[in-house]
Structure 1
Amino acid sequence: MAPDVSTMEMITSDSEQFEKLVAPQAAPRKFQIVYRNLFTFGYAHLSALYGLYLACTSAKWQSIFFFYILFVLSSIGITAGAHRLWTHKAYKAKMPLQIILMLMNSLAFQNTATDWVRDHRLHHRYSDTDADPHNATRGFFYSHMGWLLVRKHPEVKKRGKFIDMSDIYANPVLRFQKKYAVPVIGLMCFALPTLVPVYFWGESLKIAWHMALLRYVLNLHGTFLVNSAAHLWGTKPYDKNIVPVQNVSVSLIAFGEGFHNYHHVYPWDYRTAELGNNWLNLTTIFIDFFAWIGWAYDLKTVPDSMIRARSDRTGDGTDKWGMGEKHEHCDKSE
């Protein structure tokens, strides 16, 4: 794979201006609370708890099924769209698939895909340091959601200016989402999920609204777990010298995103998981389907021999599948 010259130039310029940050690193800092975010997160979570109560006591089964489907679609809008396609360019997508992923990404509402990509590219370049937007060195709560409740660290602001976003700014689908973020995200994430149950099967507006917020908050925490739990608890079969880990529970919740030690070693692999791991990787199955019909193409993968060699050289000795077993057990079962 040929190197991206523009990206290498950005990295060189960056390294010339700033001191090197080595993970895990977190200098003392004073937190400045963003009260608007504190209020909106507080309201969303209290409403979600009420939505959970209503789901268990009053909601129609059609509503529960509907919001589960929305949960899956919005999750894939992040994992297959903002993450694997637009952040890492791990595969290419034709315009119809890009539009579908943009709408699914809007359904998830984790800012626009443009904002998401910038934060995530910064996260990979400076993982688990003060230039990482959700630096896991500061603990579970900060990396999970606390980073969204305070002002960005100065290192994030400074170094974020050097992240190459030229491909994102040139993408007409993402430019459209960014330009019309309020109506598009408002419609996809809040209005339609509330009005569809009311109109089509007579759900009450109160139940529909609070269950819409429940679905939204659950989606947020599914993604947040990749930033927090998958940097704190698990195994490191590919590189024991970095912070990210393999966390099978997170992969189950986040549709394949919890094989994080592997992902930080090979971020360009469209599967984000060793040897596929499709039994926990609905996102990979989604991409494979669209590859089958020709809407996704140029899927990047890492040869199995390279994966095994890296694991043997720098891994912690746990099973390549991230299940915490020893290599000998895995090799005998192959």
Structure 2
Amino acid sequence: MAGKQAEAIGKLVVIGVGLIGGSVACGARQRRLCQETIGVVRDAETARLAVEAGVVDRACLNIEEVAPKLGEGDLVMVAVPTLAVEEVLRQLQVCLSSEVTVTDGASVKGSVAEAARRVYGLLPAQLVLGHPIAGSEKSGVSAANPNLYVDHRVILTPTAETGAGHLARVRQLWQGLEAEVVDMPIAEHDDVLGATSHLPHAIAYSLVDTLAHDIDNPNIFRYAAGGFRDFTRIASSDPVMWHDIMKANRHAVVHSLDQFMDNLTRLRAAIERSDGDYLLQMFTRAKTARDCYTRLSSPNDETPE
């Protein structure tokens, strides 16, 4: 990954100014990490809201409007649902200079790498795949938060093809947003996030759907306790985004689901036979592991991503 070090970011173009992209844009804008922030959005109303809210300096409806004026030192962030990334890359491949740095915020990196190879024929040096481990159950431009990434981890997954200058520029952006940046191989990223993020979301969605549609009791939510509220909060996340994530990372998610279902089957059997020793041992192991995780992580690490 040879190349020169990145200089200051010129124009920052964010395609998709919802929670993830909008938070990058307004965070960079407030911290003066770039000369100008430009949002690429789907409709005029979102463009108006993004500018009025101070998320971006200006907004347009397609990347072709700004691409000819972008060059070395500029950065494009793709912040759209995972399965929509390929179409955006096709647009960029046609109109964007290879000198412009491109990164993304998708929760699955293997599918994005495969999409890039289909579009470009290889992983282009300008493309730096990344994933901020931060988020909220909120969505849309109104959810943009300039401090969303403070003290959160951001995983970059550079490969042998990644240009050093492009990698440095993306790292510079995230560090400027006060995030902790770490590198990880693509396959390891997808396996780890499949277990630690995608599996919990699948469980939360399934639990809420079960209670809402399969258990015939009108009071099921009226008397739900705080634990139910806390555990199922992430089921309020964007359904389209999570639909894409589950499909894109299906192998890792299915593997994690299989392991979870095996453990759940053992737990069910223990409850059915009143096996107090098994229950106490399992609950104690889980509490110990959870307490250890809490000590090792920052409070911000517990938001959905």
Q: TM-score, normalised by structure 2?
A: 0.27
Instruction: Give 1 or 2: higher helix fraction.
Output: 1
Q: TM-score, normalised by structure 1?
A: 0.25
